[in-house]
Structure 1
Amino acid sequence: MWISLFALTLMWQSTIQAVEPCKFVFDECQKADVPWTSCYEDRIRSCTIRGRFTMANFIHRRVSLTQEVEASPTPQHVVRISSSALQRSRGATSEEEVLLVATVINSTFFKLSPPRPRGRGRMIHIPLDRPGPSTVLGGLVLAVKAGNHPVRNLSQAIKLTFNHDKQVQDGACVFWQESPLQNGTGYWNTDGCDTNDTGSEFICSCNHLSFFAVLVNPALSVDESDAVNLSYITYIGSALSILFTVVSLIIYICLQRRRPEKAIGVHLHLTGALLCLHLSFLLCCFWVRQLDEKEEDWVCRGLGLLLHWSLLATFTWTALEGFHLYLLLVRVFNIYVRRYLLKLSLVGWGLPTLIAVVCGISGVYGKYRLEVKDADDRNSTAEICWMSSHRLPVSFVTTVAFPCLVILCNSCMLGLVVFKLWGLRAGGGGAESGRDSKKMTREKWMKLWKDCATVLGLSCVLGLPWGLASTTYISLSGIYVFTILNSLQGVFMFLWSLALSCKSRSDNNSSVRDPSTQKVMTTSFNN
């Protein structure tokens, strides 16, 4: 008798320990060796809510199989599951009820990893001209589970409603796909989910149960007239850049023959990269118009490779401009490098070539489609020969992360130039300040103008106008400023080459009267 009671006590204690409180499941799965999403799906269906304790934004109840069920863990999230889906979730058992679990989880716990898309699913792509990442609507992910049997390929889809602000646009219903590496990471997939935006809510129709969310990419509404104006500005600006970069190349070649300098050589290569960039951009835009809607030939893929290579070469040579400026301003002494320009050329042209070849072998290039929504919620499609829309990691690393790093480093270099100019002016103006300490003389204004011109010119050479891409999120005027400045890069390089040519003639014909200006110009331009 005592043995029986002892055995029953052990069985009762083991049962109590097996039934885990629901409020501890999430924290325990975060510590598990397996991916926490799989652990959570398995253990949340067997946990229990003890006593009268209730969890906020958490539904955990048994529901009937005979009718449609609606659950709303938060006022912004509603899920509707049909009776056929509930019957599929019970499996081969004869139960009349199944357990339904619906809750929301903070999106920061879902760690993204580069996807390996196989099958029909695809990753959400961020347009090139809007490099900001997509975000989860409200920062919350809706987790829905029913029964003990996996629910997939439903004939009657599950309806999930996500309420949102009317200013949110370009949303897509997705579910969480675990990485094949089983390292706790994954990516957002659209397979089996359709999206319907009613203006105040997203309605997702999915044929399975999982972790659901809506990815949104805040878009700035552009009128049709503004879109046409921006297109003309881009085409005209790129055409002018092609013309003026050709002239700039001629000027740099003449300067290099007259007085070989390393800085002139770097400018020459950067101008060549800009010429390739604007030329390939116009070719990609005009060639894609000759293709049918679903046609994609080898010429378009080749032009996409050329455009990508030109963009990488432009940013690489822009980074080398900053590196050369660093050697001149910081490492003033002992900076002689044997075959300096040859080594820079191997990096400036070799690195983009290597990346473009690898991407070309991987088949990332093709026709790119960008959907634009105007102020009247009408969608229009813009196409260009670029990279296919499902190649997010390649596009993000090579066209967002790398340019941001270059712009950050070159901004520091420009700040160093401004600091040097300020130091030279402060150290060389003592005699003049004693002569007239209150009134700004004409000579001082000329020095200030030259310094401003030097800083503005270096800003263009260092590629800082590309940093204005962040202003495209703020207003329509930011889009115009970004488009104008970057489409006219070739014109700015021509003005810079013209300034170098004038300075070279001035140095040959007369002596420079301002020692501080001579020092800065020598540091900025020469070797």
Structure 2
Amino acid sequence: MKTSYLFIIFICIPATLRTNDNLPNCKDALRDCLRTEVVWTRCYEDRIAICIPMTRMAIPNFYRWSVNSSNQAEESTNSGHRVHIPAHALQRSKRNDSISTDYVQITMAVLNSSLFKLSPVQGSRSGEVLGQSVLAVRVGDHSVSDLDQPVRIAFRNTNVTERGTCVFWKDSENKNGEGDWSSEGCITTLIHGEFVCSCNHLSFFAVLVNSNLSVDPVNAANLGYISYIGSSFSVVFTTVTLVMYTCLRKGHSEQSISIHVQLTGALLFLHLSYLLSEWWVWHEADGAEGHVCLAFGLILHWALLSTFTWLAIEGFHLYMLLVRVFNIYVRKYLLKLSLVGWGIPTATVMACRFSGVYGIHSFYMTGANNGSSTDICWISSATDSPGVVVSYITVSGYLGLVFLFNTAILSVVVVKLWGQRGKGRMWKDWATVLGLSCVLGVPWGLAFCTYGPLSLPGLYLFSIFNCFQGVFLFLWFLALSRKGRPEHSSVKDSSSQKMMETNFN
């Protein structure tokens, strides 16, 4: 009899081992699902509900525990997430269980947002994912949706921003693993520095930040009209300026005029590439993520950097005229400035091109239907792209340096004008300061006023002044082209006034 029992035990042990081998390993669940031909998100949700930890050591970013279904459950992760699941959701998850038990199993996993591939369609939510982390939550063996009491997931606000939207991953109809972030069924609240997502279902959850603009659809449409109209006017007037310079130039022209014209050319490229980029995305919504959009993004980035560089050159040239008045001769001065003005942007965009940062960039506006979006061919906003770092360095950082330098030069001009102030010249001085502010690109500093309580007025002022900058430069060019009559002044001020008039020309 003992031999019989021993024989049965040796038969049952291999059978039990084979049964466990057929169940997926929790540690390898993600790797195995990514290798399958089916949609990996659905595969992973099913695997983590039935997988078995094959090791006693804790699996990184993987959490599992059992709770009584009659009580609510709350758990935290090492990545700063807190999940609160009401008893109603726990009971719904075990409604059809064949095994009668009061306990239910809860599984959570923290994944990198780069695993989720956005569908290349217009309106895709490709904003930056908070902390680059996505939280997967599964209760029991069945999906849970349409809950009367929502599940609450708290995300630590690592970016210290007040703009964020709770979203979940929604797979596309096809089976290529692509999908989109959706905020359907989720409500976003900011409590004590944390984003709290109250959702009526369980899925892959995340918070989209930084790409959301706190602009309602009406103001967003108004800003769009201002941008299109202003850029169109700038294209026309910058073209007229270049034609006038080419036709009216007689012999050797002033260095300042030549620098103004090159800045005008950079602005022409900027506004033209912006309009073409918008047009391409609008007409090619289904295939905008191609080589053409990449090229438009590169050209737009190059034109913007060229504009910033020539604004800095305008400030440098004015510094040479104001400070080094008697020692401003530089051999091949314009040639060297041209190499800097066009060479630095070209080298920068070529380096960025090999980094693969260009593509579709989406901006989101709050409003009805959980927000809307607008796309442009620019530095890509995809989570697996280094575009965020490139944008901060080459756009925000570069603009900040140019703005500080040119503002300092403009302050020196204002001080000198105040010292040269005479009767009847006040309005001319203010006109000179306003013209130089446009030439030096001071209104570009309004970009740093588009956050916080002044975001909406800052956006309007930024759009008006910078979209119509080509028109302002045309008026400045006309003012410089006219030969004004010399003003009579005292002997004491004649030399300094002559110097100032020469400098501003």
TM-score normalised by the chain length of structure 2: 0.62
Match of 1:491 in 2: 471
Task: Output aligned runs, 1:205-216, within 5 Å.
Answer: 216=209
Match of 2:405 in 1: 409
Q: CA deviation at 1:318?
A: 0.5
Relative distance call for 1:451 and 1:377 in structure 2 (3 A) is farther
CA–CA separation in structure 1 for the residues paired with 2:345 and 2:211: 31
Match of 1:501 in 2: 481
- Maintained 8 Å contact 2:129/2:206: no
- Maintained 8 Å contact 1:253/1:268: no
- Maintained 8 Å contact 1:255/1:501: no
CA–CA separation in structure 1 for the residues paired with 2:86 and 2:222: 50
The correspondence for 2:226, drawn from 209, 229, 233, is: 233
Match of 1:182 in 2: none
**Cα RMSD over matched residues?**
4.2
Q: Mean Cα displacement is larger for which, 293-302 or 390-399?
A: 293-302
The correspondence for 2:165, drawn from 166, 171, 176, is: 171
- Maintained 8 Å contact 2:166/2:188: no
CA–CA separation in structure 1 for the residues paired with 2:476 and 2:301: 25
Deviations, residues 51-99 of structure 1 (Å, cap 9, x unaligned): xxxxxxxxxxxx98454742589xx98434899xxxxxxxxxxxxxxxx
| Residue identity opposite 2:243 in structure 1 | I
- Maintained 8 Å contact 2:73/2:84: yes
Q: Is 1:355 matched with 2:348?
A: yes
Deviations, residues 36-61 of structure 1 (Å, cap 9, x unaligned): xxxxxxxxx99xxxxxxxxxxxxxxx
CA–CA separation in structure 2 for the residues paired with 1:406 and 1:424: 27
The correspondence for 1:458, drawn from 436, 450, 472, is: 436
| Residue identity opposite 1:291 in structure 2 | E
CA–CA separation in structure 2 for the residues paired with 1:78 and 1:361: 40
Task: Output aligned runs, 1:234-253, within 5 Å.
Answer: 234-253=227-246
Q: Which runs of 5+ in 2 are unaligned?
A: 1-56, 59-63, 88-111, 119-126, 141-150, 169-180, 190-195
Q: CA deviation at 1:222?
A: 3.0
Relative distance call for 1:220 and 1:119 in structure 2 (3 A) is closer
Task: Output aligned runs, 1:461-472, within 5 Å.
Answer: 461-472=439-450
Relative distance call for 1:521 and 1:287 in structure 2 (3 A) is same
CA–CA separation in structure 1 for the residues paired with 2:270 and 2:352: 18
Task: Output aligned runs, 1:300-339, within 5 Å.
Answer: 300-339=293-332
Q: Is 1:476 matched with 2:456?
A: yes
Q: Is 1:198 matched with 2:187?
A: yes
Task: Output aligned runs, 1:427-442, within 5 Å.
Answer: none
Task: Output aligned runs, 1:12-411, within 5 Å.
Answer: 65-67=66-68, 69-70=73-74, 78-80=82-84, 119-120=115-116, 155-156=138-139, 160-161=153-154, 168-171=162-165, 197-200=186-189, 201-203=196-198, 216-217=209-210, 221-253=214-246, 256-293=249-286, 295-374=288-367, 376=368, 378-390=370-382, 391-411=387-407
CA–CA separation in structure 2 for the residues paired with 1:482 and 1:381: 20
- Maintained 8 Å contact 2:212/2:363: no
Deviations, residues 401-423 of structure 1 (Å, cap 9, x unaligned): 11111111100010010011112
Relative distance call for 1:395 and 1:221 in structure 2 (3 A) is closer
| Residue identity opposite 1:160 in structure 2 | I
- Maintained 8 Å contact 1:368/1:384: yes
SS in 1 for 2:328: coil
- Maintained 8 Å contact 1:163/1:202: no
CA–CA separation in structure 1 for the residues paired with 2:338 and 2:304: 16
- Maintained 8 Å contact 1:251/1:497: no
Match of 1:419 in 2: 415
- Maintained 8 Å contact 2:269/2:303: yes
Deviations, residues 176-209 of structure 1 (Å, cap 9, x unaligned): xxxxxxxxxxxxxxxxx9977414332599999x
Relative distance call for 1:197 and 1:319 in structure 2 (3 A) is farther
Q: Which runs of 5+ in 1 are unaligned?
A: 1-44, 47-62, 84-115, 123-132, 144-151, 175-192, 430-443
| Residue identity opposite 2:439 in structure 1 | V
CA–CA separation in structure 1 for the residues paired with 2:390 and 2:321: 34
Q: CA deviation at 1:388?
A: 1.4
Q: Is 1:513 matched with 2:488?
A: yes
Relative distance call for 1:315 and 1:393 in structure 2 (3 A) is same
Relative distance call for 1:349 and 1:471 in structure 2 (3 A) is same
Q: CA deviation at 1:451?
A: 0.5
Q: CA deviation at 1:288?
A: 1.2
Equivalent residues, number: 366
CA–CA separation in structure 2 for the residues paired with 1:261 and 1:500: 10
Q: CA deviation at 1:353?
A: 0.9
Relative distance call for 1:251 and 1:379 in structure 2 (3 A) is same
- Maintained 8 Å contact 2:212/2:364: no
CA–CA separation in structure 1 for the residues paired with 2:206 and 2:479: 55
Q: Mean Cα displacement is larger for which, 411-420 or 223-232?
A: 223-232
SS in 1 for 2:450: helix
- Maintained 8 Å contact 2:363/2:373: yes
Relative distance call for 1:367 and 1:163 in structure 2 (3 A) is closer
CA–CA separation in structure 2 for the residues paired with 1:219 and 1:153: 23
- Maintained 8 Å contact 1:371/1:382: yes
Q: CA deviation at 1:313?
A: 0.4
Relative distance call for 1:319 and 1:172 in structure 2 (3 A) is farther
SS in 2 for 1:257: coil
Match of 1:54 in 2: none
Deviations, residues 380-401 of structure 1 (Å, cap 9, x unaligned): 1211111211311112211211
Q: CA deviation at 1:367?
A: 2.2
Instruction: Give every structure 1 segment of 4 or more consecutive aligned residues whose post-TM-superposition deviation is greater than 6 Å.
Output: 133-136, 193-196, 204-208
Q: CA deviation at 1:153?
A: 7.4
- Maintained 8 Å contact 2:82/2:154: yes
TM-score normalised by the chain length of structure 1: 0.60
Match of 1:437 in 2: none
Relative distance call for 1:501 and 1:405 in structure 2 (3 A) is same
SS in 2 for 1:289: helix
CA–CA separation in structure 2 for the residues paired with 1:299 and 1:477: 34
CA–CA separation in structure 2 for the residues paired with 1:225 and 1:355: 36
- Maintained 8 Å contact 1:273/1:313: yes
